[in-house]
Structures are given as C-alpha cells and as structure tokens.
Amino acid sequence: MSRPRNQAGPHRNLPREPIPLHVILPIREACRLLGWGARGLAAAKQQGLPVLRFSKWRYVATDDLLAFLRRVNRPPTTDAGGRKEDR
C-alpha cells in the first residue's frame, strides 16, 4: 500500500511554541522555535540578527530576536505622493 501524498512530516507547518521573553537561547533552539534551517539563519545573520558568542557556542537573546523580526517585517512607508520610501 502506498503512502498518501499529504502525509504529515517535518515539512508541514506545525504549531510552534511561543518565544519566551528576556531569555538567551542557544541558536539551534531559536531556529527550532522559528522553523528556520541553516539558510534562514544565514540570511537573518546577514540582515543584522545579533548573535552572542561564548567559546564555540552561539546564542541569541529573544528580545533581540523579536526586535529583529519586527524591524525586518516593517511595512514600507509612503511619502506624501504615495511613493514608497526605502528605509
């Protein structure tokens, strides 16, 4: 018997846990909470996600993470003529 094509797996959008506030998480845990892979993390770092380092370990402060997500997802502003401004 064959598997159904829509079988649940790691590719599915599963409900995520809420991101705790005022906590420093290992980068892997933060990626797991957000559903990010290696490329998503690399893109976030390139766009300015602050990452803390201690020895060989990498961490992210959840306050910085949420501020980063708000900054990146901010809608573009428009000027008086209705044109979008780059910010």
The stretches of the chain forming alpha helices (DSSP H) are: 27-34, 38-46, 62-72
Phi, psi of 58 (to 5 degrees): -125, 140
CA distance 23 to 31: 14
- What is the arithmetic mean of pLDDT over 40-48? 95
Residue type, 81: G
What proportion of the chain, given as a percentage, has pLDDT over 70? 71
* pLDDT in the model for residue 25: 95
pLDDT tens digits, 6-27: 655 665 566 678 888 999 999 9
pLDDT attached to residue 81: 63
**pLDDT tens track for 53-73:** 999 999 999 999 999 999 998
Q: Tell me what pLDDT residue 51 has.
A: 96
